[in-house]
Amino acid sequence: MRPQLREIAALFLRLGATAFGGPAAHVALMERAVVRDRRWVDHEEFADLLGAASLLPGPTSTELAIFLGLRRGGPVGLAVAGASFILPSALLTLALAWGYARFGTLPAAASILAGLQPAVIGVVLAALVPLGRSTLRAPVPLLLAAASCIAGLLGAPPLAVLLAAGALAALARALPMLAAPALPALAWVFLKIGAILYGSGYLLLALLRDELVARRGWLDERQLLDAVAAGQFTPGPVTSTATFIGYLLAGVAGAAVATICVFLPSFLLVAAAGPLVRRMRTSPALAAFLRGVSASSLGLIAAVVTQLSVHALTSTAAWAIAVAAAAGSLWTPLNPTWFLGAGAAAGLLLRLR
């Protein structure tokens, strides 16, 4: 394996094994790793890749990893980055699914999560600062980011917000110029979800509930919530919830089919869109559209952080963890993963709930 590919594999395996906290935290960790630590891209290009990943169906942080792999190592790097980021989470979620199927419950982790969540908020806020400096340097991106944050808080669909922001940015630039299922059925369900999912989180839960509980009756409400909790509890992409569900429905083969199918559209879409991102950056009109989307994606991340804060920052200790994680991520050379781990350990020691 070429040195570049080994570097890509090592980085994204580590991120996949340690990146707790969902897509916003994943973006923050990737920004630190590939922009500040390794300088694969600058803040501006990172923001553009994040904007492009936000536009594509599928899990945003996974597609961002795939874009970065393509940028660093070409088509093979694309596959290596995506597979490396997904694999640790899928294996850990598979282990949780085995325990759940055997014992009927998930391990108690309320205290760990109560400490981890404010640390995630601090780390994500720290990542927004350098990304904002490079992306929000003009009035229009700044206004779009603020408007997107407000729209996100009000519950507007993220895709509609992103497309509207991109169109407005392009317009602003133009104005001066004028049942236990069979495996094929399981595969189809998760291919469809992977192809229409934007971001993850609440939308993933809604899609899974519609397909698996309401339409097909493959799971009940409690099993679905436990599956989503398993995806949240493990590091890496939250979409690895598919691994858990696949195992419950069809064993190891079902876990493999669900995992491959939910992520496959992301690989195909990034492979198709990757060459277009560089062309968009050289076209003034399309570059303006991409800048609008990039600004909007930062606003939506800020909205997610705000919404999470309501539930996570419920005590003085939680606020202290969030502030310490943000300050440490901004002003020390330590990898943000250390602050996430410290937050989880503090939650366990302090018995946070």
Q: Could you read off the pLDDT of 175-207 as tens digits, one per residue? A: 654 455 778 889 999 988 888 776 545 567 677
Q: Which of 37, 17, 7, 29 is nearest to 333 (CA)?
A: 37
122 falls in which pLDDT band (50, 70, 90)?
A: confident
Q: Which residues pair with 198 in a beta bridge?
A: 58
With contact defined as beta carbons under 8 Å apart, do 69 and 81 qualify?
yes
Instruction: Tell me the one-letter amino acid at 142.
Output: L
The answer to whether 4 touches 77, Cβ cutoff 8 Å, is yes
Identify the pLDDT of residue 68.
95
pLDDT digits (tens, 9 = 90+) for 286-340: 778 877 877 887 787 787 678 767 777 888 888 888 888 888 888 887 777 778 7
Report the percent of the chain where pLDDT is more than 90: 14
Burial class (CB in 10 A: 0-12, 13-18, 19+), 290: buried
For the stretch 54-104, pLDDT in tens is 888 778 889 999 999 999 999 999 999 999 999 988 998 898 888 778 766
| The model scores a pTM over 0.75 | no
Residue 337 exposure: Cα atoms within 13 Å on the Cβ side: 16
Identify the pLDDT of residue 79: 93
Q: Give pLDDT, residue 11.
A: 94
Which tens digits make up the pLDDT trace of 147-177?
888 888 888 887 788 888 888 888 777 665 4
Please, what is the average pLDDT of the chain?
81
